[in-house]
Amino acid sequence: MIGTSAAVYPAAGLAGLAAQAGAPVIEINPEDTALSSLAAVRLRQPAGTALPRLLDLAGLSPA
């Protein structure tokens, strides 16, 4: 979940479906949301800060 308030459905329900299916859920948001308890990993940063760093760590940085 990236930068969502977790209040707009049906998209907000996708994290719950993923968690129920056993998929790890990662939340990128500066604040807790109603879905934070589902997240295996919570990154408390703005998406514009966290995503480039994650891509770099994964070796997927844009050229």
pTM equals: 0.79
Tell me how far apart the alpha carbons of residues 48 and 28 are, in angstroms, rounded to a whole number. Answer: 10
- Structure token digits, residue 41: 């990993």
Query: What is the predicted pLDDT for the residue at 63?
Result: 59
pLDDT digits (tens, 9 = 90+) for 1-23: 787 777 888 888 899 999 999 99
Q: Following DSSP, what letter does each residue of 21-50 receive, concatenated?
A: TT---EEE-SS--TTGGG-SEEE-S-HHHH
Chain mean pLDDT for the chain: 88
DSSP code of residue 41: E
pLDDT digits (tens, 9 = 90+) for 21-33: 999 999 999 999 8
Query: What is the predicted pLDDT for the residue at 8?
Result: 81
